[in-house]
Structure 1
Amino acid sequence: MESQTETPDQHSSADAVYDLIVIGGGAVGENAADRAVQGGLSVVLVEAELVGGECSYWACMPSKALLRSAQALRAARGVSGAAQAVTGELDVEAVLSRRDSFTSGWKDEGQVSWLQGAGIELLRGHARITGPRQVSVTAADGGVTSITARHAVVLATGSAAAIPEVPGLHESHPWTSREGTRAQSVPKSLAIIGGGVVAAELATAYAGFGSKVTVLARSGLLGGMEPLAGELVGKALDSQGVELRLHTAPERVTRTGEGVRLETSTGETLMVQEVLAATGRTPRTGDLGLETVGLEPGSWIETDDTMQVPGFDWLYAVGDVTHRALLTHQGKYQARAAGDVIVARARGARVDDAPWGAHVATADQRAVPQVTFTDPEVASVGLTAAAAREAGHEIRVVDYDLGNVAGAALHADGYAGKARMVVDERRQVILGVTFVGPDVSELLHAATIAVTAEVPLARLWHAVPAYPTISEIWLRLLESYGRPGS
């Protein structure tokens, strides 16, 4: 289903020279390329699979499309009047068809057309660095093209699902997030190994489709977030029919003619139709030729805040491959910074001079917004209370029941959710915010601004939330904290 069609913008000549070579044509690579072209540089983007990358075809877009229909149905059933009008069940075939529309049937002609309109050239094939500013690209037919960068090479190759070393798991051909988001039929039963965001979202989706879902989470659910996130999402998954086996791990996996058998650390045995591994990510750097310039193949790529690889005046990395923040929006943020910096340096400008200093990437380490599209949603930004204490901050934690906000009560009958604000007591600014509840994702950007801009609490009192909206939670959090200095 992956398009490898020749396009008019594809180069076949050897030793072509560009100002910038971008390796990886996902959303992150596209942003780096676009920013550089807007700055007047010539750019070629190299992609071995589909232009648009993981987010467009196997992650963000298809997963949210799979989740949305059941979420909308549950939301309607949660409001009296609408609930009485809902008489049918979820049409799974229609959901899968809608998902297919968002992935364009796993064809990338639309993305290629965008590249052409943006003035970005495309070279299809597998890229390998062969030396400083030198890249070779091997096409599907075995043909090799050599290209050179005048100024820079950007690595935007992303990450792949990591499959844990459980005896028999690799041989059982498990699903990963890719198979989970592009499946054309729904298994009757599904075991998900892992307790992170991907595991929780896909458990929500497949439970909504009617699968019998079992989650095996060695370290609990949504670890690394505020504990209230895992608690509320866990309760919701349980109510949706998901069997949560927390602090449990598979010890052996075997695919048989009847399905997949999992032997667990608790001594139990599960039989399911499919098993899905959702235990983290690994960098796509194993066959990029990194060894030719002294870097380690298969490793994450370290960068500074201009996204430049230390020790190289020509090599940059953006997105998942940097391991700074494995989220599409943060990768695009890094890409914009890198593109601007590369343009500035190509012109001989200093990146710490205005306006270039404004474009280095710093927010991806201390103010990262993230939404987990379970039902209820989890929306968070910045530090958790535990992380803030570990970083040495003197903090105060303010919790509030979202169901007590008038806008939330209007939004859904029996609205259940929680909010947490982590305050730096010395500076009187917010270090982190977490919301858990239906549709809280739309609250997140206000929190992101407050954390990123370090808006003093005294000023936030003058940011008046409209009534009656769920955003009134901001007033309730401030009231619970009390006026600074009072």
Structure 2
Amino acid sequence: MAAGNKIIDLLVVGGGTAGIVGAKTAAGFGAGTVLVERSRTGGDCLWTGCVPSKTLLAVAEHARTMRAVTGQPPAFNAVQKRISAAINTIEPVDSPAALDDAGVRVIKGNLTFRAHGVAEVNGRTIHFRQALIATGAAPAALHVPGLAPGVTFTSETIWELDTLPARLAIIGGGPIACELGQAFAQLGSVVTMIARSRILGKEEPDAAALVRVSLKYDGVAILENTTIADAVGTDAGCRLRLRDGKVVDADAVLLATGRTPRTAGLGLQRVAVTVNRAGHVVTDKRMRTSNPLIWAAGDVTANPQFTHLAGVHASVAASNAVLGLRRQVSATVPRVTFTSPELAAVGLTTANDGPKHRSRMISHIHVDRAVTEDNTVGFTRLIVDRRGKILGGTIVGPRAGESLAELTLAVQNGMTTSDLAATTHPYPTYSDGVWNAALADVRGRLASPVARLAMTMLVWFRRRRLDTRSPHRSDR
């Protein structure tokens, strides 16, 4: 398939998760598909996000155990080699060759929309019927007076470190800050997190509190509800001066204060694609932009910035674009912070004060797998309505992300705690937390006065029926 003068069915801009999934989906339907990527396919998830960070977390947790036994931290170059090996193992799946095998033509270069149905890449004009914008997002810039670029890193550039920093300061308190902060502390860095509010501010306070305790146990100093006034250079790195008067000395500073959408230079105004004040491409529930022939998915939109969400949204967008469907994306969005313990949540996580919702929580001291692993720190909490319909919940503990999958399915499909309680679960597993919380809710409903009266009457009628039929009954 040539891009030349042929009109492309779907032009995909961006080769990250959303772009790859969207392009493969369209090509799978038989649509002529071209993907334009300015750098390398695979996106942030493969090169600087999910894959390297989760590999680092795994290596770091193992390093903590080995250091406790041997007293020696791992060689940092060994850590880097393990991360590179993980990336190299996964990269072929996201490569241009794999896309070509799927029927997608890949063009490397910067794309600019010139007019409706017309784009330009490397000085070459491309005509298209529809387009999918999937250019992702980049770490947000943060100006700190006096902070030298040479000691400053982001989630994209932290992997360029040649040596493990003896002192690492992290500006931010979200999932990226917590995950990388814990990992570097486990590897041996002295880590200080500086957050303008509390860490993991979008999560329930008691869930975030368990992560905070774990971070501190691993040696992370956490300074919350404060910001940086300025910085001054030192022989080893820099000194950060906080607005509350404290100072933090660091050899390296990681900026983890959010991400901004990559829309600069796309020429979206020429094709009537609306962006919000933060620069995100605005979409409806079908992932269509203000231009009915242009769609968007992934971190470039205003939706939560998760790899799994980018892929699902891109699939919906491509299906709607190519097949003319009217599919809508689900509002059920699971999220996991991969600290130790993991913190996972989906849907509604707080019950209201009235009778509309209720909360059922199981401490993991009552989850037998957690007991056998001698790791009972954590809990599973379900939020349900008056009829037992599961609206959401939070799980904190080992493998919380895996346990969340069942809870996400329950929320997505409007299942009740009775549905989960009646389902046989393998034993012993960490997902027993979800099952036991569901059982607790069912038993709680059965303990209500109305339910108890109904069951008492059923038992009485059953007893009478059996007595009437009993062969041992004697007439009087």
TM-score normalised to structure 1 length: 0.85
Query: How far apart, in 1, do the equivalents of 2:90 and 2:358 lie?
Result: 48
Q: Quick check: 1:318–1:335 contact (8 Å CA) kept in 2? A: yes
Q: Which residue is equivalent to 1:361?
A: 329
User: Are 1:147 and 2:126 matched, yes or no?
Assistant: yes
Q: 1:389 to 1:287 in 2, by over 3 A?
A: farther
Tell me, what secondary structure is at the counterpart of 2:153? coil
Tell me, what secondary structure is at the counterpart of 1:331? helix
TM-score normalised to structure 2 length: 0.87
Question: Which aligned pairs between 1:100-115 and structure 2 lie closer than 5 A?
Answer: 100-104=84-88, 111-115=95-99
Q: Deviations over 1:42-84 (max 9, x none)?
A: 100000011111100000000001111232455799xxxxx98
Give aligned-pair identity as a percent: 34
Q: Which residue is equivalent to 2:296?
A: 317
Deviation, 1:103, is 2.4
1:307 aligned to 284, 287, 300, which one?
A: 287
Question: Which aligned pairs between 1:453-472 and structure 2 lie closer than 5 A?
Answer: 453-472=413-432
Q: Deviations over 1:16-67 (max 9, x none)?
A: 5211100001111000000000111010000001111110000000000111
Q: Which residue is equivalent to 1:400?
A: 362
Tell me, what secondary structure is at the counterpart of 2:95? helix
User: Are 1:334 and 2:313 matched, yes or no?
Assistant: yes
Gaps of at least 5 residues in structure 1 are 1-8, 78-82, 139-143, 346-350
**Which one-letter code corresponds to 1:407 in the other structure?**
R
Q: Which residue is equivalent to 2:194?
A: 216
1:376 aligned to 319, 341, 348, which one?
A: 341
Q: 1:124 to 1:16 in 2, by over 3 A?
A: farther
Tell me, what secondary structure is at the counterpart of 2:11? strand
Q: Deviations over 1:81-117 (max 9, x none)?
A: xx98x78654443221110112239987961111111
1:240 aligned to 215, 218, 224, which one?
A: 218
Query: How far apart, in 2, do the equivalents of 1:474 and 1:322 lie?
Result: 32
Q: Deviations over 1:317-352 (max 9, x none)?
A: 00111121210000100011111111212xxxxx24
Query: How far apart, in 2, do the equivalents of 1:261 and 1:15 lie?
Result: 58
2:48 aligned to 58, 61, 67, which one?
A: 58
Tell me, what secondary structure is at the counterpart of 1:320? coil
Q: Quick check: 1:172–1:254 contact (8 Å CA) kept in 2? A: no
User: Are 1:267 and 2:237 matched, yes or no?
Assistant: no
Question: Which aligned pairs between 1:247-262 and structure 2 lie closer than 5 A?
Answer: 247-262=225-240
2:14 aligned to 24, 44, 49, which one?
A: 24
Give the number of aligned pairs. 444
Q: Quick check: 1:59–1:181 contact (8 Å CA) kept in 2? A: no
Deviation, 1:428, is 2.3
Q: Which residue is equivalent to 1:418?
A: 379
Q: Which residue is equivalent to 2:103?
A: 119
Query: How far apart, in 2, do the equivalents of 1:128 and 1:416 lie?
Result: 51
Q: Which residue is equivalent to 1:98?
A: 82
Tell me, what secondary structure is at the counterpart of 2:264? coil
Q: Which residue is equivalent to 2:254?
A: 276
Deviation, 1:439, is 2.3
Query: How far apart, in 1, do the equivalents of 2:296 and 2:231 lie?
Result: 37
Gaps of at least 5 residues in structure 2 are 452-476
Deviation, 1:294, is 3.5
User: Are 1:185 and 2:163 matched, yes or no?
Assistant: yes
**Which one-letter code corresponds to 1:133 in the other structure?**
G
Q: Which residue is equivalent to 2:59?
A: 69
Q: 1:73 to 1:454 in 2, by over 3 A?
A: farther
Query: How far apart, in 1, do the equivalents of 2:152 and 2:225 lie?
Result: 21
**Which one-letter code corresponds to 2:422 in the other structure?**
H
Quote the RMSD (CA, aligned, Å). Answer: 2.6
**Which one-letter code corresponds to 2:13 in the other structure?**
I
Tell me, what secondary structure is at the counterpart of 1:135? strand
Q: Quick check: 1:63–1:181 contact (8 Å CA) kept in 2? A: no
Tell me, what secondary structure is at the counterpart of 1:465? coil
Query: How far apart, in 2, do the equivalents of 1:97 and 1:424 lie?
Result: 49
Q: Quick check: 2:9–2:322 contact (8 Å CA) kept in 1? A: no
